[in-house]
Amino acid sequence: MPTLLCVKATPLSGYNTPAEIPEYETSVSLGTLAVIRSFAFSHLLLCTELELTRTKTIEQHAWFGLHHLISLRMSYFGLKVLKANSFNHLNSLETLTITGEELEVIAGKAFLGLESLTDLQLSGNNIRSIEKNAWLGLSSLNNLALETDMFLNLPRLRILDLSEQKPDTAEKNSIFNGLLSLVELRLRLTFMIAIERDTWDWIGLSSVRTLDLSYNKLQGITKDTFLHLSSLILLNVATNEITQVGEKAFEPLSLLETLDLSGNRISAIAPKAFSGLHNLHVLQLNKNWNLYVESSTFIGLFSLKQLTVYDTFVTLPQDAFDHLTRLTSLQLNLNNIKKLPDRIFAPLSGLVELSQRQPLGIIGKFLLLEIFHC
């Protein structure tokens, strides 16, 4: 990275026109600039940070001279179409933020030349169309915030946040193809009702390790819900409307370590629902409705270390924890439990933490000594 970029951070200096800006300024904020003329910033050779407002026209060589610009923020963006080569001469740009309600179309090659860009923020726009090759040239992009779901030519993208969008505009089948380096996908508050083969195709997401589906409207989980997510380590489906979890629902997720099912309406968990989760360490079932646990509910969770089931109307049979032989932490706070079956904790010889704020009427001194014995 050029030495000129190592400049001490300073507050943005405010000006009304590019001509007013002294050539020594490194951080600049302009008021309303409807038209950015060619060569308008050609004298700002030291500028590393630029903020613009209400831009409606960008001429071909508008950014000439800003060879060391690292951050560009454009608020109240007035263009409806982001044309090809809109950011010529910005070879050093690392962060680009465009916000406004006017932007509707991203044309092919719109970001061509931004090979150093790592962070692209396009949230808060009204994007309806992304043309072919729109992402061409973004070879270093790591983080994209975008209110749409059409992605091509982003083989190095690692984090994708599509939260607070409606999935009814999504293309069906393989919409994530090509995102070969993606490790984190956020889909919070998307009003998603179901994840099925013909709606959300996870092919192309084999490298994703973290998936956030919280605060949606999912109603159930089946064996087809999470196909092709073979690298997933953390799955968050908290605060949905899930009422039941089907048999072998998580079987494709053999590497999963953390699963959050809190804040749903789960009353039934099918036998062997957790089959295949040999590496799961943390399971959260908090704040569900009338959850009934059977002796077969936790089959397959050989590595589970932490189980939390608080603020839940839960029914626990005597053999509820028979398959959780490696459990070290069990949270049962604020449930409706008045009396537990005798020796329900007997299989948990490795348990070191047990929390039950309501009285555990059946646990006497002898049993406490037994379950905390090393």
192 shares a domain with 332: yes
Among all chains, which residue has been given the structure tokens 């790591």? 142
266 shares a domain with 165: yes
162 shares a domain with 188: yes
pLDDT of residue 148 exceeding 60: no
- Is 110 or 366 the better-scoring residue by pLDDT? 110
Tens of pLDDT along 9-34?
A: 445 667 888 999 999 999 999 988 89
306 shares a domain with 187: yes
Return the pLDDT at 284: 97
Boundary of a domain, candidates 91, 116, 146: 146
Residue 284: DSSP 8-state? E
Return the pLDDT at 44: 95
54 shares a domain with 189: no
Tens of pLDDT along 262-310?
A: 999 998 899 889 999 999 999 999 999 888 888 889 999 999 999 999 8
For residues 120-126, give the mean pLDDT: 85
pLDDT of residue 136 exceeding 60: yes
Boundary of a domain, candidates 117, 146, 175: 146
- The token pair that represents 353 in the structure block: 């933490």
Among all chains, which residue has been given the structure tokens 């090509």? 178
Q: Name the nearest CA neighbour of 291 among 318, 271, 309.
A: 309
- Is 147 or 302 the better-scoring residue by pLDDT? 302
pLDDT of residue 100 exceeding 50: yes
Whether 74 is covered by a domain: the verdict is yes
Tens of pLDDT along 240-251?
A: 999 989 999 999
Return the pLDDT at 178: 67
Instruction: Give the CA angle between residues 302, 307, 312 to the nearest 5°.
Output: 135
pLDDT of residue 169 exceeding 70: no
178 shares a domain with 92: no
The number of domains in the chain is: 2
Whether 330 is covered by a domain: the verdict is yes
Bridge partners of residue 28, in order along the sequence? 13, 50
Q: Which of 53-67, 134-148, 188-202 has the highest mean pLDDT?
A: 53-67
pLDDT of residue 166 exceeding 80: no
- What CATH number is associated with residue 343? 3.80.10.10
Three-state SS annotation for 198-209: CCCCCCCCCCCC
Return the pLDDT at 334: 81
Q: Which of 163-177, 284-298, 329-343 has the highest mean pLDDT?
A: 284-298
163 shares a domain with 135: no
Q: Is 307 helix (H, G, I), strand (E, B) or coil?
A: strand
Listing DSSP states for 98-162 in one string gives E--S---EE-TTTTTT-TT--EEE-TTS---EE-TTTTTT-TT--EEE-SS----S-TT--EEE-
- pLDDT band, residue 98 (cuts 50/70/90): very high
Among all chains, which residue has been given the structure tokens 């779901």? 149
Return the pLDDT at 329: 96
pLDDT of residue 123 exceeding 90: no
What is d(CA 59, CA 160) in angstroms, rounded to the nearest whole number? 30
Tens of pLDDT along 205-215?
A: 778 999 999 99
What is d(CA 252, CA 230) in angstroms, rounded to the nearest whole number? 6
Boundary of a domain, candidates 146, 172, 205: 146
Domain span including residue 374: 158-374
168 shares a domain with 310: yes
pTM for the structure as a whole: 0.61
Return the pLDDT at 366: 34
Whether 164 is covered by a domain: the verdict is yes
110 shares a domain with 221: no
Bridge partners of residue 283, in order along the sequence? 259, 307
314 shares a domain with 205: yes
Contact 55, 79 (CB under 8 A): yes
373 shares a domain with 286: yes
Return the pLDDT at 50: 96
342 shares a domain with 278: yes
Cβ neighbours for 133, distance < 8 A, ≥ 6 positions apart:
108, 109, 152, 153
Return the pLDDT at 251: 92
Whether 153 is covered by a domain: the verdict is no
Query: Rg of the Cα trace of the chain?
Result: 27
For residues 317-333, give the mean pLDDT: 92
For residues 104-117, give the mean pLDDT: 93
Sign of CA dihedral 241, 150, 77, 39: positive
Return the pLDDT at 21: 92
| Average per-residue pLDDT for the chain | 83
For residues 329-343, give the mean pLDDT: 84
- The token pair that represents 269 in the structure block: 């968990």
Burial code of 178-193, b = ≥16 C-beta within 10 A, e = fewer?
A: bbeebbebbbbbbebb
Return the pLDDT at 149: 46
Tens of pLDDT along 88-97?
A: 999 999 999 9
Whether 23 is covered by a domain: the verdict is yes
Return the pLDDT at 147: 58
